[in-house]
Chains A and B, each alone.
Chain A
Amino acid sequence: MPALGFLLPNFLGFAIFSALPILFSLVISFSNWSLQKAEPFAWIGLDNFVELWNDNKFWLYLANTGYLMLGMPVAIGGSLLLAILLTQKLRGMVAYRTLFYLPTITSGVALMILWKALYNPDFGPVNAVIEWVFRLIGLHGVEAPKWLTSTYNLLGIDVEQLRLTAKQFGLGARDAIVIMGIWIAIGGSNMLLYIAALSNVPQHLYEAAAMDGAGRWARFRHVTWPQLAPTTFFIVVMSFIGGLQGGFEQARIMTAGGPAGTTTTISYYIYNKAFVEFQIGYASAIAWILFIIIFGITLLNWKFGSKALND
């Protein structure tokens, strides 16, 4: 069987580093395995999952993960808008596209360190601009946001009790990360996907719509948007999958998960449990719950998405 020889190197690596670890992590999520604890190894059934259910931190971190995904619609809408602007016959389009893609290509530690400096309340340019605007419009005595050190948020969520309160209303660490996320994502791969999709909308559809006297908005609403639906669907599904796993680098590099745990996401929680506290069993349980959440949301997306696509 000649196929075996070609497949084997990859398949071995795949089995050792992907397939078997997935099963292995499911198995050890039913154990109390720790790399540090003196306590002997034991199978503890569903105890990890019960503990997780009663773990208030887990629910806070899940809410944080959701909060950081609030920028998604803005980023996706912005990508579409940029793609529409970029698919016109104008000069300099490749240069624009390259510029917009820069944050995606460079995102990572260097960018996070940069944004940490940008948000610095003492010397960061973000607050310098905000304070300048405040002075310009005559707002005195209003403080600029404290960004990465503030628990304030635009929804007014109280961290301690997980409820809404006017006292927490404002701009804080989570909003800072959301804004940075939009800045990174808006000109990224989603924009490129929309450009490709827009280029493939059959021109005769627009001509037919124009014959029927459709205006600018009607053409977008009834030709462009439905033609882009499969791409939008793909982008939404992938954004959910990425978003639910996200927030690790931001937390590790910019905020250490703080203040008061408001920027700790599920993936940063797993990292801390597994690689700082070495509670391998418990961390695996959280990782599997995260997988189940991702799987469930993907199924939901699929169900409602295919309905919307078929309409």
Chain B
Amino acid sequence: MNMISKVDHRAQPTVGPSLVEGRGTPTRGGPTRGDACVSHLSMEPRKVGGVKRSWWQRQGKPAFSHLALGVMALTMLAPFVWMLLCSFKPLSEVEALNPIPVSWQAGNYSRVFQEIPFARYYYNSVFIALWVTFLQCLTSAMAAYAFARLRWRGREMVFRLYLATLMIPGVVTMIPNYTVMVKLGLLDSYTGLIVPAAFSAFGTFLLRQFMLGLPRSLDEAAAIDGASHWRIFWDIIMPLARPGLITLGIFTLIGNYGSFFWPLVMIKSECLRTLPIGMLAFDGIYGRQTNLLMAASVMNIIPLIILFVIAQKHVVKGIQLGAVKG
């Protein structure tokens, strides 16, 4: 986990080195079935033979489950719906208790772009997040290859050092890093925002777990054919590790798109502001114009929702992989 996401831990998997290692996790080894969201588990035992299932099992229980889940789903959805509706209200209706706008103002969305350089914020967030993601995946994959597929002296010790730093709160490293950035004159620059986030002990850990699972005979066969380590890494391991890379990439992308703490202390000038920092400034200046704030919020989270809906299989896998395998 890189230093930023440690404080800014939203959209990061709540994972780390498995703390349940060696305790006989029931989940170990078996395929993680959660992503299919169906399981053989039912709190009811299977009835043997042709015994008729009771009314409760056939109808009552599913209906009850749907009711409970439906109420929960409404609770989760209601704030988002309110946000969406409010973003279409004229300012005069914001304080009205009726959540549905009387006159719909789609123009709120274009006004956000007029009041603040919202497109610039989008660009900065995406630009920084993509660079961090690319660098983090590359450096993590290379280090993971060294940890998982190569033998060298001190390997276990260095790996333990990596794991140990995952325990340390992000704020501990944030302060020295900030002073270093001040001394190097990298405050308020893309470099200062990207480079410290480009290395991740968490990413290395995740990909190492993934690469450990690949058959060793592949490397050996390639080595006999005279392939260099770089060839083996690039042509054999990387394609096989693609699911792991995608998972790490999505987490890094989402985490850095919404990264808050590090940009907050690093960014001074307006043209460098990322979405979260820009939103915060917008909230400070236009705090009373809730309709515009909500329109900006909607535009802020829509890319995340789209990305998640497309890639949710990988997100779910990644969370389970990170926690389950030690």
> Are these two chains actual partners, yes or no?
yes
Interface residues of A (CB under 8 A from B): 1-7, 9-14, 17-22, 24-25, 28, 35, 82, 84-90, 92-94, 96-111, 113-118, 122-123, 125, 128, 183, 187-190, 192-193, 195-203, 206-207, 209-210, 216, 219-220, 224, 227, 230-231, 233-235, 237-239, 241-242, 244-245, 248-249, 252-253, 267, 270-271, 274-275, 280, 283-284, 287-288, 290-291, 294-295, 298, 302, 306, 309
Q: Are B229 and A2 in contact (CB under 8 A)?
A: yes
Q: Are A189 and B14 in contact (CB under 8 A)?
A: yes
* Closest beta carbon of chain B to A291's beta carbon, Å: 6
Bound Cα distance A274, B312 (Å): 37
* Closest beta carbon of chain B to A294's beta carbon, Å: 6
- The residue in chain A whose Cβ has the minimal distance to the Cβ of B145 is A6
Q: Are A87 and B139 in contact (CB under 8 A)?
A: no
Bound Cα distance A190, B319 (Å): 9
Chain B residues with CB under 8 A of A35: 179, 182
Interface size on B, residues (CB 8 A): 122
| Interface-central residue, B25, B96, B158, by most chain A CB under 10 Å | B25
Bound Cα distance A123, B98 (Å): 10
Contact A90 to B66, CB < 8 A, known contacts A19-B161, A210-B45, A287-B175: yes
Chain B residues with CB under 8 A of A189: 13-15, 319
Interface residues of B (CB under 8 A from A): 2-3, 6-11, 13-16, 18-20, 23-27, 30, 32-34, 37-43, 45-46, 61-62, 65-66, 68-69, 72-73, 75-77, 79-80, 82-83, 86, 94-97, 99, 138-140, 142-143, 145-147, 150-152, 155, 158, 161-162, 165, 167-180, 182, 195-196, 198-199, 201, 204, 229, 233, 254, 258, 260-261, 264-265, 275-276, 279-280, 283, 290, 293-294, 296-297, 300-301, 304-305, 308-309, 312, 315-316, 319-320, 323-324
Q: Are B76 and A100 in contact (CB under 8 A)?
A: yes
Residue from A85, A234, A290, A306 within 8 A of B323 (CB atoms): A234
Bound Cα distance A18, B76 (Å): 37
Sampled A-B contacts (19; CB under 8 Å): A17-B2, A82-B69, A88-B62, A114-B79, A188-B14, A189-B15, A189-B319, A190-B14, A202-B26, A220-B43, A231-B27, A233-B20, A233-B23, A237-B19, A245-B7, A249-B260, A290-B169, A294-B167, A294-B169
Bound Cα distance A188, B158 (Å): 32
Chain B residues with CB under 8 A of A19: 161, 165
18 additional contacts (CB under 8 A) given A84-B43, A237-B19, A275-B264: A6-B233, A7-B143, A11-B143, A19-B161, A24-B176, A88-B41, A98-B312, A107-B258, A110-B276, A115-B79, A188-B14, A193-B320, A206-B42, A219-B43, A230-B26, A238-B14, A245-B170, A275-B265
Q: Are A309 and B300 in contact (CB under 8 A)?
A: no
Q: Are A128 and B97 in contact (CB under 8 A)?
A: yes
Bound Cα distance A28, B175 (Å): 10
Q: Are A102 and B297 in contact (CB under 8 A)?
A: no
Bound Cα distance A291, B150 (Å): 33
Q: Are A270 and B171 in contact (CB under 8 A)?
A: yes
Chain B residues with CB under 8 A of A2: 150, 229
Chain A residues with CB under 8 A of B80: 102
Q: Are A122 and B265 in contact (CB under 8 A)?
A: no
Contact A89 to B38, CB < 8 A, known contacts A108-B260, A200-B26: yes
Bound Cα distance A148, B20 (Å): 38
- The residue in chain A whose Cβ has the minimal distance to the Cβ of B139 is A10
Bound Cα distance A241, B17 (Å): 13
Bound Cα distance A274, B261 (Å): 12
Minimum-distance CB pairs A-B, first 7? A13-B199, A210-B45, A10-B143, A21-B176, A199-B33, A196-B34, A199-B39
Residue from B96, B165, B182 within 8 A of A123 (CB atoms): B96
